[in-house]
Amino acid sequence: MTNEKKLASFIRPMLAKSSEKAFDDEDWVFEIKWDGYRAVADLSHAEPQFYSRNGISFLSKFEKVSQDFNRQKHTMILDGEIVAYDENGKPSFQLLQQIGDNPDLALTYQVFDILWLNGHSTEELPLLQRKELLKEALTETDVIKYCDHISENGIAFFDQMKKMKLEGMIAKKADSLYTENLRSSDWLKIKFTNTDEAIICGFTEPRGSRESFGALILGKYIDGKLIYCGHTGTGFNKESLNLLYNRLKKLIVKTSPFENIPKTNMPVTWTKPELVCEIKYSEITKDSIYRHPVFVAIREDKEPEDTSSNSDKNHPMNNKSKEMKAKTSSAKTENPEKDKEITLNKHKVKLTNQDKMYFPKDGITKGDVIEYYQSVASYILPYLKNRPLSLNRFPNGIEEQGFYQKDAGDHMPDWIKTTEVYSESNDKNIDYVYCNDKATLAYLNNLGCIDLNPWNSALPDLEHPDYLVLDLDPSKKNTFDDVIETALQVNEVLNEVKIKGYCKTSGSTGIHIYIPMGGKYDFDQVKDFAHILMKQVNEKLPKLTTLERSLQKRDDKKIYLDYLQNRTGQTLASVYSLRPKEGGSVSMPLEWDEVKPGLKPTDFTIHNALERIKEKGDIFKPVLGKGIDMMKALELLQNGG
Give the pLDDT mean for 372-383: 96
Using an 8 Å Cβ cutoff, are 190 and 33 in contact? yes
Give the pLDDT mean for 571-582: 94
With 70 as the cut, is the pLDDT of residue 311 above it? no
With 50 as the cut, is the pLDDT of residue 221 above it? yes
Residues 259, 350 within the same domain: no
pLDDT at 134: 96
- CA pair distance 353, 373, nearest whole angstrom: 17
pLDDT at 328: 38
Highest mean pLDDT among 276-290, 370-384, 419-433: 370-384
Q: What percent of the chain stands above pLDDT 70?
A: 92
With 50 as the cut, is the pLDDT of residue 388 above it? yes
Give the pLDDT mean for 268-287: 86
Domain membership flag for residue 8: no
Residues 232, 377 within the same domain: no
DSSP 452-520: EEE-SSBTTBTTS-SEEEEEEE--TT--HHHHHHHHHHHHHHHHHTT---EEEE-SSS-EEEEEE-TT-
pLDDT at 2: 40
pLDDT at 330: 36
Residues 478, 601 within the same domain: yes
With 90 as the cut, is the pLDDT of residue 489 above it? yes
SS3 for 319-374 is HHHHHHHHHHHHHCCCCCCCCEEEEECCEEEEECCCCCEEECCCCEEHHHHHHHHH
| Residue closest to 581 by CA, chosen among 272, 405, 364, 257 | 364
Residues 92, 178 within the same domain: yes
Q: Where are the alpha helices (DSSP H) in 2-126?
A: 63-66, 93-97
With 50 as the cut, is the pLDDT of residue 334 above it? no
Domain membership flag for residue 346: yes
State the pLDDT confidence band at 333, using cuts at 50, 70 and 90: very low
Residues 169, 310 within the same domain: no
State the pLDDT confidence band at 326, using cuts at 50, 70 and 90: very low
pLDDT at 335: 38
pLDDT at 426: 59
Give the pLDDT mean for 455-461: 93
State the pLDDT confidence band at 427, using cuts at 50, 70 and 90: low
Domain membership flag for residue 245: yes
pLDDT at 331: 35
pLDDT at 336: 40
- CA pair distance 251, 237, nearest whole angstrom: 21
Output the domain CATH number for residue 484: 3.90.920.10
- CA pair distance 351, 347, nearest whole angstrom: 12
Give the pLDDT mean for 510-537: 95
State the pLDDT confidence band at 322, using cuts at 50, 70 and 90: very low
Lowest average pLDDT, out of 60-74, 184-198, 411-425, 603-617, goes to: 411-425
Structural domain for 482, as ranges: 467-638
In b/e form, how buried is each residue of 193-216, taking b as 16+ CB within 10 angstroms?
ebbbbbbbbbbbbbeeeeebbbbb
What's the whole-number average pLDDT of the chain? 87
Output the domain CATH number for residue 187: 3.30.470.30
Residues 81, 187 within the same domain: yes
Domain membership flag for residue 114: yes
| Residue closest to 620 by CA, chosen among 508, 512, 541 | 512
DSSP 8-29: SS-PPPPEEEE-S----EEEEE
Q: Element (H or E) spanning 132, and its range?
A: helix 127-137
Residues 355, 412 within the same domain: yes
Highest mean pLDDT among 5-14, 95-104, 178-187: 178-187
Beta strands 418-423 and 467-473: pairing type?
A: unpaired
Domain membership flag for residue 333: no
Q: What is the CA radius of gyration of the chain?
A: 27
Domain membership flag for residue 7: no
139 phi/psi in degrees, rounded to 5: -95, 110
pLDDT at 282: 67
Contacts 24+ apart (CB under 8 A), 490-494: 490/533, 490/537, 491/592, 491/595, 492/540, 493/533, 493/536, 493/537, 493/540, 494/533
State the pLDDT confidence band at 4, using cuts at 50, 70 and 90: low
327 phi/psi in degrees, rounded to 5: -65, -45
Give the pLDDT mean for 41-53: 94
| Residue closest to 524 by CA, chosen among 488, 563, 558, 487 | 563
List beta partners, residue 283: 291
311 phi/psi in degrees, rounded to 5: -80, -10
Lowest average pLDDT, out of 74-83, 117-126, 221-230, goes to: 221-230
- CA pair distance 392, 454, nearest whole angstrom: 11
Output the domain CATH number for residue 308: 2.40.50.140
pLDDT at 572: 92
With 80 as the cut, is the pLDDT of residue 209 above it? no
State the pLDDT confidence band at 3, using cuts at 50, 70 and 90: very low
Lowest average pLDDT, out of 95-104, 279-288, 325-334, goes to: 325-334
Residues 404, 487 within the same domain: no
With 60 as the cut, is the pLDDT of residue 258 above it? yes
With 70 as the cut, is the pLDDT of residue 9 above it? yes
Q: 130: buried, middle or exposed (CB in 10 Å: 19+, 13-18, 0-12)?
A: buried
Give the pLDDT mean for 178-199: 88
Examine the fold and report which residue of 161, 191, 221 is the final residue of a domain before the chain moves on.
191
Domain membership flag for residue 531: yes
Domain membership flag for residue 2: no
- CA pair distance 237, 297, nearest whole angstrom: 12
Number of other residues whose CB lies within 10 A of the CB of residue 15: 17
Residues 224, 241 within the same domain: yes
Using an 8 Å Cβ cutoff, are 279 and 294 in contact? yes
Give the pLDDT mean for 434-458: 95
pLDDT at 319: 52
Residues 53, 97 within the same domain: yes
Q: What percent of the chain stands above pLDDT 90?
A: 60
Residue type, 522: D
State the pLDDT confidence band at 325, using cuts at 50, 70 and 90: very low
Examine the fold and report which residue of 135, 165, 191 is the final residue of a domain before the chain moves on.
191
Residues 46, 185 within the same domain: yes
Q: 393: buried, middle or exposed (CB in 10 Å: 19+, 13-18, 0-12)?
A: middle
Residues 207, 315 within the same domain: yes
Q: Under DSSP, is residue 621 helix (H, G, I), strand (E, B) or coil?
A: helix
List beta partners, residue 562: 471
> What digits encode the pLDDT tens for the residues 65-100?
999 999 999 999 999 999 998 887 888 877 787 776
Residues 6 or more apart whose Cβ sits within 8 Å of residue 121: 115
Examine the fold and report which residue of 454, 489, 511 is the final residue of a domain before the chain moves on.
454
State the pLDDT confidence band at 551, using cuts at 50, 70 and 90: low
Q: What is the pTM of this model?
A: 0.52
**In the chain, how many domains are there?**
4
